[in-house]
Amino acid sequence: MDYGVNAVDQNESLNVSPFIYETIRDFFPLIGLGIIACIYIWSWGRAGSAFFILQRFLGLLGGNKELSNPEASTAWTSVRDFYSMRLRTGLKFKNNEQLRLTLSWLKEEKIGLEEIIQIRPYFDVEKIKINPPNLTAKKKENYFLSIFIACFLAASVVLSASDRAFLIIKQSGTLFVAKQGSAHSLDPFLWSLSAEKCSEKVLGISGSDQKVICELIQSEDRTYIKSVIFQQRVISMAMLVFLALISLSLISSWRQAKTAHAINSRLDEQQDGQLSLFSTPDN
């Protein structure tokens, strides 16, 4: 029976475990291809080139990875090491000379490469310097995003913990909450219905909406409401995963900004110390 609400066919019983298993089985080839595509895109974006994938392909076609000519082998090793550094560090060096100058600068300033990898969004490989982060703006950004996360987190908790289905009537757009035998508006003080009250006219709701909702809550088949509740919980879990990823991204971004600020402060102190060594005392 069609109740005019967004949901699945009530004649179909909901059996969760086989449904999940069959979905994974049917889409497994596409999932595998999707994972490979994501790894390819990630490596291309991080290294700025598909060099490693091309290298594997050429290795299959050309056989040996090493070249017999010493000069050619040295040149190829240099190219391989260059792209390897781009992939492993995430720093977009343009050539080996820029890489060499950066490593020399790090040694001179007594900064570890591992520190630069942590703050790579703030490191300018062309000018070989660390751009100072705006911690004040970062705090404001994190504050507003935290409010966004809190709102969606509250909605996710409500969806996952509720034993009621949140529904909408397609024809009228009326939103309501239902469980077997009863229903009420999102504002429970506006109107409420029970199976016993369906024979009466309820204020605050149109006759057509009342008829649709009464057909739903009086039905002996509970599959419909159970399936909607299950869908809500799946959506809420997906939202929680999404929110967790955003939260981790915020934490990582804040740590990067703090680390970049600390390294910049350390460099400023070193420069001030060097200037004091060359300054002459006033007579």
CA-to-CA distance for 190 and 178, rounded, in angstroms?
14
Q: Which of 106-120, 139-153, 167-181 has the lowest mean pLDDT?
A: 167-181
Count CB atoms within 10 A of the CB of residue 197.
14
Q: Which of the four pLDDT bands, split at 50, 70 and 90, describes residue 77? A: confident
Residue 282 has pLDDT above 60, yes or no: no
Residue percentage of the chain with pLDDT more than 90: 14
pLDDT digits (tens, 9 = 90+) for 198-222: 888 888 888 888 888 888 888 877 7
Q: Which of the four pLDDT bands, split at 50, 70 and 90, describes residue 14? A: very low
β-pairing verdict for 123-124 and 175-179: unpaired
What per-residue confidence (pLDDT) applies to 8? 36
44 neighbors 256 (Cβ within 8 angstroms): no
Nearest to 49 by CA among 104, 10, 102, 95: 95
Mean pLDDT to the nearest integer, 141-169: 86
Dihedral over alpha carbons 115, 121, 122, 127 (to 10 degrees):
100
Residue 90 has pLDDT above 70, yes or no: yes
* Encoded tokens for 120: 């790579």
DSSP string for residues in 103-172: HHHHHHHT--HHHHHHTGGGEETTTTEEPPP-HHHHHHHHHHHHHHHHHHHHHHHHHHH-SSEEEEBTTT
183 neighbors 169 (Cβ within 8 angstroms): no
Q: Which of the four pLDDT bands, split at 50, 70 and 90, describes residue 168? A: confident
What per-residue confidence (pLDDT) applies to 22? 57
CA-to-CA distance for 277 and 241, rounded, in angstroms?
54
Q: Is 116 exposed, middle or buried (0-12, 13-18, 19+ CB in 10 A)?
A: buried
CA-to-CA distance for 65 and 56, rounded, in angstroms?
9
* Encoded tokens for 280: 């002459």
Mean pLDDT to the nearest integer, 29-56: 66
pLDDT digits (tens, 9 = 90+) for 236-253: 888 888 898 899 889 989
Query: CA–CA distance from 258 to each of 118, 135, 145, 172 (Å)?
Result: 11, 8, 18, 52
CA angle 275, 279, 283 (to 5 degrees): 160
Whole-structure pTM value: 0.61
What per-residue confidence (pLDDT) applies to 197? 81
Residue percentage of the chain with pLDDT more than 70: 75
The angle that helices 135-161 and 223-278 make with each other, rounded to 10 degrees, is 160
* Encoded tokens for 48: 């700025």
CA-to-CA distance for 93 and 81, rounded, in angstroms?
12
